Amino acid sequence: MANVTIEDAKGNPFLEVIDVITPPSLKDLRVSESVRIPSQQGNIVAVTATWRGKHYGIKMFFPQSKKPSRTEVQSQVEKVYPGAKLSYFQISDYEPGQPLLQTGGQ
């Protein structure tokens, strides 16, 4: 946008608009390399387990599209906490920035 002068009814300069912020040209923005993070489909499961007398809560990602069974969740919990007893599990929403344990494919 160029500088614009607005005149009153008598032709005298009334207002002058000066563009001090010009957007950068797209030619100036160069990307050397783009990377796409592979998307995954599956379920995030909030798990509560008892291990050595304490309750632990973790979120685990299961790559299958169906809800994992109790035995599938129990087997994955035992890989992290050997001998733990699964108390509760439920499908959960993803919250960015929250730790998430990714399980292997079945």
- Encode pLDDT of 23-57 as tens digits: 666 666 566 665 655 666 888 889 999 988 888 88
Domain presence at residue 9? no
Cβ pair 7, 14 in contact under 8 A: yes
* C-alpha closest to that of 44 among 68, 61, 64: 61
- Encode pLDDT of 49-92 as tens digits: 998 888 888 888 888 888 889 999 899 888 888 999 999 999 88
Domain presence at residue 6? no
Looking at the structure of the chain, the number of domains it has is 1
Domain that holds residue 70: 43-102
* Burial class, 46, CB count within 10 angstroms (exposed 0-12 / middle 13-18 / buried 19+): middle
